Amino acid sequence: MASSTVRNVHGKRSSFQSEFTGNGASKRRNLQDETDRNVIGSEDTVYRYLCPVKKTGSIIGKGGEIAKQIRSETKANMRINEALPGCEERVVTIYSTSDELNHFGDDGEIVCPALDALFKVHDMVVADSNDDDDDDDDLGEKQTVTVRMLVPSDQIGCVIGKGGQVIQNLRTETNAQIRVIKDNLPPCALTLSHDELLQIIGEPLIVREALYQVASLLHDNPSRFQHSLLSSPSTLMHQPLTSSHRNYVRDLADATEFCVCFICPAENVGGVIGKGGGFINQIRQETGATIRVTTSETEDDDSIIFISSKEFYEDQSPTVSAAILLQERCSEKVGKDTNDSTISTRLLVSSSHIGCLIGKGGAVISEMRSVTRANIRILQKENVPKIAREDEEMVQITGNPDAAMKALTQVVLRLRANAFDMNHGLVLLPTSFPYVSQVSESSNKSKYAKRDGSRDQDYSRLNSNSKRRNHVS
């Protein structure tokens, strides 16, 4: 009986094929313009596959050749997200319309491009894992494969079914271990409170069959939120030029310099530097970032902590890593209660660059406030400390240390993505969900005025070579 039920569930595979008949009757007809590759339509097929960071090179290739080949062969769109600090996986977002026809597998079954691309990615990651296991292969043990995918909460129900019937039938028919995990999500999903983690474990062929069944269900039941899985077209990229996971020479002249400027209270500077420069030198060594401490020419109470590095987009960012490690030491505690753990982090951002943090109608900054639970403000010129240049504005993040760290990560990754967009036209923002319920702003009153509204900008990257204040360290 269980087997029959599963066949009924996947009986949609016949209609899955008929959806591509081109007769205008398809339930999943995509109304998006064919040329708009940076937008996910409400009827598109979308998969978000979690790829171990150390395996990412197997799907990027030298000069991005493998990623380009996957896109060319399948006609699907594929985006590989920035590796978040401390995260061992990167989100590979694969999506396509249902207007294309791909032949899949030995029997030439007709499937959508996204499903075809999903399996090309999966097979390459598994093959890369097999290469790693060759040296210590134990003939007495069967190989085990793990697949992890992020799925919006309104879509995961098609995999679970009423009373868990569908997922139980999938387990019975495929013999795979299939779980839906709601808690302890990977760091790359920390800001995605409406995401759930789908995990499949088993022998390679078993996992492949289970993945196919699950992918078919997700195809037939698109999420109503999937149009928000990518940010605006100006901030997206077709996957990076090169991979740090392959051994070949890259010209440092092609790297992009990315910088972050903290405003640091005078009393915190000693903690940032450390005894004999011990702490700041340790961060420099651990991250590879350049870190300078400067003071104001006008004897202002604030100092600048300037962090920079020359980077390739697909590599983990030394600047981002150093900024996160230095955040608490550069921040000031707020609130009269000494037990209050709320901190305030301040950054200087070029006025021409600030728009990527605001978004049209304030959508981006509202999203960041929602998903991080931190209070994020952008302050105008008359409310910015004197140490700032005329062309700089201040971003102020207030919240508990965890919320403030998440907010800082969102802010600096968006700034970094925008910097690369200006140089190469290749940008991908960290995954984020605008549909997370909006939280009210912190009641903590800032000594600076809050800026409301938004504006469209011709963004330009920060210039770390511009004249700065007195150099201290």
- One digit per residue, the tens of pLDDT, for the chain of length 473 reads 343 333 233 333 333 333 333 333 333 433 333 334 567 888 899 999 999 988 999 999 888 899 999 999 999 999 888 777 677 888 899 999 877 788 888 887 889 999 999 999 999 999 987 766 655 555 556 789 999 999 988 899 999 999 999 999 999 999 999 999 987 777 676 444 368 899 999 999 999 999 999 999 999 999 887 776 764 222 233 333 333 333 334 566 778 899 999 999 988 999 999 999 999 999 999 889 999 998 766 555 789 999 999 988 767 789 999 999 999 999 998 876 656 689 999 999 999 889 999 988 998 899 899 888 899 999 977 788 888 888 899 999 999 998 999 999 999 989 998 888 643 333 344 433 322 222 233 333 333 334 334 333 332 333 343 444 555 55
Query: Residue 296 belongs to a domain with what CATH number?
Result: 3.30.1370.10
| Residues 215, 69 share a domain | yes
277 within some domain: yes
Prediction pTM value: 0.50
- CA neighbor of 447 nearest in space, from 302, 329, 340, 339: 302
Note the pLDDT of residue 197: 93
Residue 80, strand partner residues: 92
Phi first, then psi: give them for residue 264, nearest 5 degrees: -115, 125
Do 173 and 79 lie in one domain? The reply is yes
User: Do 90 and 211 share a domain, yes or no?
Assistant: yes
Q: Do 382 and 346 sit in the same domain of this protein?
A: yes
- Of the candidates 368, 399, 430, which is a domain's last residue? 399
User: Do residues 219 and 93 both lie within one domain?
Assistant: yes
Residue type at 278 in one-letter notation: G
- Are residues 91 and 202 both part of a single domain? yes
CA–CA distance from 227 to each of 38, 40, 366, 414 (Å)?
Answer: 10, 5, 17, 19
Residues 209, 62: one domain? yes
Q: Which range marks the domain in which residue 154 is found?
A: 45-127+143-227
**Would you say residue 393 lies in a domain?**
yes
Domains in the chain: how many in total?
2
Cβ 118 vs Cβ 215: under 8 Å? yes
pLDDT of residue 449: 37
Q: What are phi and psi of 142, to 5 degrees?
A: -85, 145
How would you classify the pairing of strands 302-311 and 256-265? Answer: antiparallel
CB 293 within 8 A of CB 268: no
H helix or E strand, kind and range, residue 369? helix 363-372
Q: Is residue 282 domain-shared with residue 206, that is, in the same domain?
A: no
